[in-house]
Amino acid sequence: MNELKIFCPATIANISCGFDVLGVALDSVGDEMVIRKVGEKGIRIIKLEGQDLPMETEKNVAGVAGLALMADSGYNGGFEIEIYKKIKAGSGIGSSAASSAGAVWAMNELLGKPFSKLELVKFAMEGERLASGVAHADNVAPALLGGFTLVRSYDPLDVITIPAPKALYATVIHPQIEVKTSDSRKILKTNITMETGIKQWGNLGGLVAGLFKEDYDLIGRSLVDHIVEPIRSILIPGFDEVKQAVIDAGALGSGISGSGPSIFAFSKGISNAQAVAKAMEGVYNTIGIDYEIHVSKVNVDGVKKVP
């Protein structure tokens, strides 16, 4: 086998009370890539469709993550990469992570799986370092491992997979406005009070327990963010209206996807998730902002081979 065609899932990171530690992979939205093993040394991105992004190996996250893997692999040949982007960069649903994760997953398969999935997370994080300046794992971990993931620690890297309840669906709306990741980082406070901390880790524990127990009400009660959402949501027009509309439509809860501007909601069952999509659309139709919207079940596999 010298060539693989893969699906690279979009991901929701942060997930309300899980700022910087929780993420989940999606099923119905993601990029495609083709990775080919070639004799010529190094990595070349030979095709990039769907988005205007750099094709130079060192400037594209797929190239950078791939080089990190190759440096540790002892492999003397090279790879060609084709990227078919469906996820918009800067949308808040892990555009760069999909490419970083996809590249290292496929290369590992083509080399006969020398690395564990945790090692792949480390290589993919180098792509994230290029995209945002920080080698974070909260999008690449679910993209590689599937389902929900918790990054418990970076030193040493410890990633825990959390099962997804079978009827859990995500609705994600991407209002077509630009929020710079640097701005959404800058406005965050660097300190929190003990009182706020207690509320936040109560909810994070509740959310993780709810996912394990398939307790949808507990998941909904726990989808509360006392730290980041009150500040970041100011950058997203219509955020409060969307939050109210999705609850009225029966969603379990909602929050900012990644650093925004996408907003996610979780629902029990696909028909509820579709009703939630209608409610979200109604808000942005009224305000007059264009959007893209996705309804997806949780992707329990992560990056996967496609025919």
Q: Return residues touching ligand ADP (CB under 6 A).
A: 53, 60-62, 83, 89-96, 99, 131-132, 181, 258
Task: Classify strands 22-38 and 148-154 as parallel, antiparallel or unpaired.
Answer: antiparallel
Least Å from the CB of residue 158 to ligand ADP: 22
In terms of CB distance, is 203 or 257 closer to ligand ADP? 257
Least Å from the CB of residue 9 to ligand ADP: 12
Our answer to whether residue 128 is catalytic in this structure is yes
Least Å from the CB of residue 90 to ligand ADP: 5
Nearest-CB residue for ligand ADP: 96
Q: How far apart are CA 203 and CA 15, in angstroms?
A: 11
Q: Which of 128, 149, 171, 229 is catalytic?
A: 128
In terms of CB distance, is 181 or 274 closer to ligand ADP? 181
Pull the structure tokens for residue 46.
Answer: 């030979």
In terms of CB distance, is 131 or 283 closer to ligand ADP? 131
Residue type, 193: T
CA angle 16, 116, 62 (to 5 degrees): 70
Backbone phi and psi for residue 227, each to the nearest 5 degrees, phi listed first: -110, -55
Q: How far apart are CA 120 and CA 107, in angstroms?
A: 10
**What's the distance, CA 239 to chain centroid?**
20
Least Å from the CB of residue 256 to ligand ADP: 11
In terms of CB distance, is 99 or 299 closer to ligand ADP? 99
Q: How far apart are CA 127 and CA 143, in angstroms?
A: 13
Strands (E), 50-143: 78-84
Q: Which of 119, 181, 241, 281 is catalytic?
A: 181
**Which residues are tagged catalytic?**
128, 181
